[in-house]
Structure 1
């Protein structure tokens, strides 16, 4: 009989685990329900693709019968984490942080079931903002060695460019968070990016000294794509989880255009499809691997934006780029439609005044105004280099006039390179 997989086994085989404290002891603890947590900084009103690894780790923990705590850093966000930074983070106003915290609460609730205490969503401002400084130094600060703190990678890297005192306190505050969650909610496992290792170990030490109990930590690899690019970064900027910041169509396109070498790894990290089905993808190439990318794009978009948005994006992509019916035996657990019909409705649409289109708009202006290029000069270069298309036809002249004569079914389709597409229609 196949043994039941432990949550640590699941995270390990799917590529989530970089480092773990006392693996065997943790694996034993995870044989029974356990409370774990991950912290998220409220530096914006949306998370981005780089946050999906910790989010999916919490999803797997909950599916394995454990209780996740999502900790939004309303308090630590007032300080700023120096980990992984070469310069100080921009300090946000309290009102902006509170706005971001509320937005992140809504966003994170899409992934986890918070009903009946199955998961908790907390804000560390609730306890950190009430701390009395002298009491905190006497009760918590005395347990920290400055020499050990300076040896931590997160601080050592900043010493060359300058580490100010408010950032120096960050490790104490994150350790206190872990201690508070352990004491108040019985949470003895913290997870986070590998740059958080020093902060997590500091919290484990504090719990051992204050509560005389064993706590644990897991860190995730700091992901880059096969090309070395930072995960979730494109030439146009970050790929956000918010539909207002990154449309479901553009989000879908990000995943369908990943490097061939990343497909299996990303299917394991960013979908809930069975590992056995994903392993079979490693044998595919060419059109079959492209089909697997379609499933990857659909599944991740479905998790982030819902099934309808994922299906709309898939159909819109078929309308623009074409496609074939997906094989029934390819990742069969996916709920993606296997047909090859299409729909243009979900391609991001830009509206232009009718009077302007009647006289005609120079192609480079329209590409820039539609958001396909950063500037009109960049649009000129794109067209001159042969990377601009209108209704699937390559543009030859940057000043070609795009008018209503170019419209089909009430719109004209602009494409920059292979990935970026906009539909231009007349303003209602």
Structure 2
């Protein structure tokens, strides 16, 4: 594509801009310095943040200069939610989250090459500023009647909850960030989610009023499923990028199980696959849906992007193991535990029989039913068929000394956990 803006648009990564023609021209003329801010309100980034990291990744690869901001100061305030006041994090909690998020963003961008990305923390320039300086140098450029028209502010003003002056001032802090980065690095573009439009335009306006210069804003659309529900939730919980909050196995499973109607959209947003490659996967999805080629390509690409190829290979192997293919002993301990965490099961001991394991794990209602399952060739232990109802579980049957996979038939799987 002739211009990175066109590719972002084709990939469904453009919702709003402060001027499409002007931004396309700026991106086409030469390197633009762009920043996106990440809120440390949680100890991990999530599905929505991944969209922004992908945008920055595309822009950096196109030769533009990328600033990745972690909000050490704005995280102490909290971006106003439409419904209620945030519970403020302590300074120590915020600092810990900032450190974790800085580590999380590094794999997505190139911080070492000829055009290195740069990590910045807005606490560095906000903390030394006095309240008087903030009010005089920033506050004087804003009009309250315009501020209260912002969607999140307006929603809170109309609610019984109202809004504190602390959260009301958040947009001034984010505008200050853009202004500072404009002065310090020549930054003229800020990206963010569509729910951040009001905060992004506040920075554009501040640069225009304080400097008489033009800056740009670009937002990405909210990703929703066919019913209009926000994507990025798994069993009601956010899909996190930190492996200790959403395991690589659960992360992979989220994308492998996404509804058919969303797969092509997510392939465009989250992968580097070309138009031709995605068109071929879309054709497969339509004509050979049982092969799930598009789902597997999506899950593999995104899991590799976030967790790396080794974790991806392990979770793919774990998926095969749970379908009765492959050797479960080849799985590393953490992947095994993640893959079996949601399986039904029960506790057994070394020396218990396969019959005991079938009953304890809920795969048979009685010892008699368990014996019939074995006799009919319907029982397996760690994907190996069991033919003797008296066979006992030895220490080696408990993978990593923790769990044995017990199966009845092809589809009924449980985890027999070592007591």
Q: Which moved more, 1:11-20 or 1:157-166?
A: 157-166
The residue aligned with 1:48 is: 46
- Cα separation, partners in 2 of 1:133 and 1:391, compared to 1, 3 Å: farther
Shift of residue 354, structure 1, vs aligned partner: 6.5
The separation in 1 between residues aligned to 2:122 and 2:251, in whole angstroms, is 31
1:239 shift after superposition? 1.7
> What is the Cα deviation at residue 195 of structure 1?
1.1
Q: Deviations over 1:177-233 (max 9, x none)?
A: 000000101100000011111111111111011111110000111122234332221
Q: Which runs of 5+ in 2 are unaligned?
A: 364-378, 384-391
Q: What are the equivalent positions in structure 2 for 1:134-145 lying under 5 Å apart?
A: 134-145=132-143
The alignment's TM-score, normalised by the length of structure 2, stands at: 0.81
Give the structure 2 partner of residue 9 of structure 1: 6
1:156, 1:22 → 2: CA distance? Answer: 24
Task: Assess, with a 3 A threshold, how the Cα gap between structure 1 residues 414 and 121 changes in structure 2: closer, same or farther.
Answer: farther
- Please give the residue correspondences for 1:32-43 in structure 2 after superposition, counting only pairs within 5 Å: 32-43=30-41
2:22 paired with 1:25: yes
When residues 313 and 131 of structure 1 are mapped into structure 2, their CA distance, relative to the original with a 3 A threshold, is same
Structure 2: distance between partners of 1:421 and 1:72: 43
The aligned runs of 1:123-162 (5 Å cut-off) are: 123-159=121-157, 160=159, 161-162=161-162
Structure 2 CA distance, aligned partners of 1:313 and 1:165? 47
Residue equivalent to 1:265:
265
Are 1:249 and 1:347, in contact at CA under 8 Å, matched by a contact in 2?
no
Match of 1:185? 185
Aligned to 1:275: 275
Within 5 A, what are the aligned runs for 1:179-218? 179-218=179-218
How far residue 46 of structure 1 moved from its aligned partner, in angstroms, is 1.1
Q: Structure 1 pair 309/146, CA: closer, same or farther in 2 (3 Å)?
A: same
Structure 1: distance between partners of 2:362 and 2:172: 52
Structure-2 separation of matches of 1:240 and 1:198: 25
In structure 2, what is the Cα distance between the partners aligned to 1:94 and 1:147?
32
Query: Which residue in 1 is equivalent to 2:303?
Result: 301
Secondary structure at the aligned position of 2:66 is classed as strand
Note the C-alpha offset of 1:270.
0.9
Relative to structure 1, is the Cα distance of residues 289 and 227 closer, same or farther in structure 2, using a 3 angstrom cutoff?
farther
Change (3 A) 1:139 1:193: same
Looking at structure 1, the residues matched to 351 and 123 of structure 2 have their Cα atoms a distance apart, in angstroms, of: 52
Provide, for residues 241-264 of structure 1, a one-character-per-residue CA deviation record: whole Å limited to 9, x for no partner.
Answer: 111122211111111000000110
1:16 partner SS: coil
Shift of 1:414: 7.4
Per the TM alignment, residue 158 of structure 1 is displaced from its structure 2 partner at its CA by 1.2
CA spacing shift, 1:145–1:364, aligned 2, 3 Å: farther
The residue that corresponds to 1:377 in the other structure is: none
Alpha-carbon distance between aligned partners in 2 of 1:138 and 1:219, rounded to the nearest angstrom? 29
Shift of 1:97: 0.6
Higher mean C-alpha deviation, range 269-278 or range 288-297: 288-297
Contact conserved, 2:82 with 2:153, CA < 8 A, in 1?
no
Partner of 2:337: 348
| 8 Å contact kept, 2:17–2:219 | yes
**How far off is 1:288 after superposition?**
5.4
Tell me what 1:318 maps to.
320
CA contact (8 A) 1:315 1:344 kept: yes
Q: SS of the counterpart of 2:191?
A: strand
Helix, strand or coil: the match of 1:109? helix
Structure 2: distance between partners of 1:322 and 1:226: 32
Mapped to 1, the partners of 2:380 and 2:36 lie a distance apart of 46
Q: How many residues align?
A: 375
What SS does structure 1 have at the residue aligned with 2:228?
coil
SS of the residue corresponding to residue 107 of structure 2 reads coil
In angstroms, what is the RMSD of aligned CA positions? 3.3
How far 1:92 sits from its partner (Å)? Answer: 0.3
- C-alpha contact (below 8 Å) 1:74/1:97 kept by paired residues: yes
TM-score (norm 1): 0.79
Aligned equivalent of 2:418: 426
Aligned pairs (5 A) from 1:97-108? 97-108=94-105
Q: SS of the residue aligned with 1:348? A: helix
Shift of 1:364: 8.8
1:81 maps to: 79
Larger Rg: 2
Quote the Cα distance in structure 2 between the aligned partners of 1:197 and 1:99: 28
The residue number in structure 2 matching 1:231 is: 231
